[in-house]
Structure formats: structure tokens, C-alpha cells
Amino acid sequence: MRTPNESFDNGLLHQGQLLRITYNNIDHQFRIVKPSHIKVSTNEIEIQLDGFNKILQREGRNWVFEDPDADQDFANAIGRLICLRYRL
């Protein structure tokens, strides 16, 4: 039996609430892969962004993608949204 925060997408079970963010006038959707693992001391968060898994890493007060070629300002915006949602 599925809980209200679980959904199927392409046959895969996803847990966690679907979160949305608008960045550079483009709407994006993402899920936190393991939301139960988020704590104040969390320094790394795996998300599923627009169908792709990405790793966010905390660097001081900023968040960056593990991939250095990705848009780091976008990563920071997502990280701030997660911090507000989970009161980190």
C-alpha cells in the first residue's frame, strides 16, 4: 500500500513530497530521494531533478551540485528551499 507521499513515475516508486522551484523563469520539479535522512547536520542531499539524480553538497552556508559544470546558483536556490522546508 502506498502512502500519500509516494508516487509511481515510469514504473519506479518515488518517496517524498514533490517540490517545485522557479529559476530563471523556468519551473522545475524535484524530490528528495531520502527525506527521512535530512537533519540539521546534513551536508549532502540526493535529489531527483527533472528526472535526473543530482547530489547537493553544503559548503558553509551555500549549496552546490557535486558536478562542478552544473549551475551552482541553481543548486544554492534548491538548497535554500530545502533548508526552509526542513528547517535546517
- Is pLDDT above 70 for 14? no
pLDDT (tens digit, 9 = 90+) per residue, 24-34? 999 999 999 99
Segment 52-62, tens digit of pLDDT: 999 999 999 99
- Residue 38 C-alpha cell reads as 535530512
Its pTM surpasses 0.75: yes
| Helix/strand/coil percentages in the chain, nearest 5 | 20, 45, 35
Averaged over 8-21, what is the pLDDT?
67
Cα-flanking dihedrals φ and ψ of residue 71, to 5°?
Answer: -70, 105
Q: What is the rounded distance in angstroms from the CA atom of residue 79 to the CA atom of residue 45?
A: 9
Neighbour tally for 79: CB within 10 Å: 22
Quickly state the pLDDT bin for 51 (edges 50, 70, 90): confident
